[in-house]
Structure formats: C-alpha cells, structure tokens
Amino acid sequence: MQLLLTGGSGRLGKAIQNSGLFQNLLTPSSSELNICDPQSTASYFSNHHIGAVIHTAALARLVKSELAPEEAIQKNIIGTANVINSILEQRGQGKDIRMIHISTDGVYESTEGNYSEVSPTLPQTRYGWSKLGAECSVNMLKTNFCIIRTRFFDPLEIPFDTAASDLYTSKITVKDLVKHIKLLLDSNFSGTVNVGGARQSDYDSFKPFKAGIKVCSVKDIAKEVPFIPATDASMNTSRFQKILNKTKV
C-alpha cells in the first residue's frame, strides 16, 4: 500500500519528503491530483493503492486567507472535503485508509492559552475558520483518522526581523513535527491531538536560530496585518505526551 502526501510542494510537505522516514510515498503535482476538483480526487484514489493519507495541502497564509477568503474556502474546506469523500468511497469498497490531517492552533480563540483538545473553538481569523471547516469534514470519518493541531517553523528560514515578546505559542520546529507525524501515522490513535512544545514567546522561540532578531509587540503586529493577532495560542499537549510515552514502552 502507498502513502499519499498532499501539499508536497509546501514547507511541511518538502520536509516530510526529505526526512527519509516515510516509505512508498506518493507526491502528486496539482495537475495529477487537484483536490479542489472532486472528479480528479476520486479518480486519483481509484487508480492508486492508497493505505494512508497525510493531508498538508492548504492555503496556509493568514494574510492571504483574509484577502482571498474564496481561495481559503476552496483549498482548505472544499479540498479537504473532496479528499474525505474519496476516502469514504474507498472505505465502502473495504479499503480502510488512514487519514492524518494537519490543522492549526488557530482554531482556538488564542487569547488565554493552555488550550486542550476539548476547549471551545472560536477562530479569530478567516484562516482559522477555514481550517476548522476542514476539521468538520475529517471528523465525518469517525474512525482511523488523526487531526493534528499545531504550529511550526523552519529554523533555517525565519523571514522576520522582529518577533513579539508578548505573543505566546507552543510552536515547534518543522523537523520535530515531521517526526511526530510519523509516530501518529504508525499509531492506532484516532481523534484530535495538540502537537507542540512548551509555551514560549515568538521572540524566545526564534532568538536561538536568528541572531540579531529584535523585539516587537502584538500591538506592532496588529498595525501591519488585516486580522486580530493571537496573544496566547499555547496548547495543552498532555494527550500527545501520553501517546508519546506509550510508544516508548
């Protein structure tokens, strides 16, 4: 059986391909698999022996999602729904495809921090709403799926010259996220899980990897973006820690 990776040209998709952790990987281009086209999606699933899917394809830019909500709807909500419909169709034929869906901490209100998987979801951005819509589709599977709520960054590509010292998240490096995706893919966990590190400010997260980065505040960011920035999007990751500890036994 083969492992389908959507969004292979994105940062996370490339990291997954370059990790060497995943075997029998299918990485179709958008012309080979257009998740926004239900016929293209259904055809691709019918013509390949897919055992699992890692779904990273998305419009992941917050600013672009605010300015082009139609595209966020197409890629994040409708595209995910098309993938889920194809999985359901294959399951109807006896193929129990596992689904790993990459979501975001942006589904939470991102003001109080320490959000658990059962905390209320109240996105403050169009991007967050589009990813929450995607989660609704994934939950229709009922079994053999994993929604990963996370925030990650590439230490080698930090595009900011400043970072807020009063914006807190549980972000992790893309390399660590890839390892955790592999663990969850191989596990029998089904449901939603927060995957991240310790609560830390953006400035403290980036500082070890980018010398000379300067401090700013959330108020500074708010002046530059067309959405309400998070203040504390940190997550409670105790559920993931239990999964992690089980695999070590």
**Per-residue confidence (pLDDT) for residue 249, from 0 to 100:** 45
Taking residues 54-58, report their average pLDDT. Answer: 98
CB count in 10 Å sphere of residue 101: 26
Region class of 39: left (phi > 0), else alpha (psi between -120 and 50), else beta: alpha
CB 165 within 8 A of CB 205: no
| 36-69-139 Cα angle (round to 5) | 55
**Per-residue confidence (pLDDT) for residue 234, from 0 to 100:** 98
pTM score of the predicted model: 0.97
Rounded Cα distance, 3 and 206, in Å:
33
Domain spanning 2-154+171-197, CATH architecture: 3-Layer(aba) Sandwich (3.40)
Summarize pLDDT for 85-94 with one digit per residue, the tens: 999 999 999 9
Taking residues 96-100, report their average pLDDT. Answer: 98
Summarize pLDDT for 30-51 with one digit per residue, the tens: 999 999 999 999 999 999 999 9
From the centroid of its chain, how far is CA 58?
A: 9
Q: Is the pLDDT of residue 246 over 90?
A: no
Q: What is the DSSP string of 40-87?
A: HHHHHHHTS-EEEEEE--S---HHHHHH-HHHHIIIIIIHHHHHHHHH
Comparing 75-79, 97-101, 245-249, the range with the smallest average pLDDT is 245-249
| Residues forming beta bridges with residue 162, ordered by sequence position | 214
Contacts (Cβ under 8 Å, ≥6 apart) of 195? 148, 149, 150, 172, 177, 180, 184, 237, 240
Amino acid found at 165: S
Amino acid found at 175: K
Q: Where are the alpha helices (DSSP H) in 92-201?
A: 126-139, 174-186
Summarize pLDDT for 108-131 with one digit per residue, the tens: 999 999 999 999 999 999 999 999
Quote the DSSP letter at residue 195. Answer: -
**Per-residue confidence (pLDDT) for residue 1, from 0 to 100:** 85
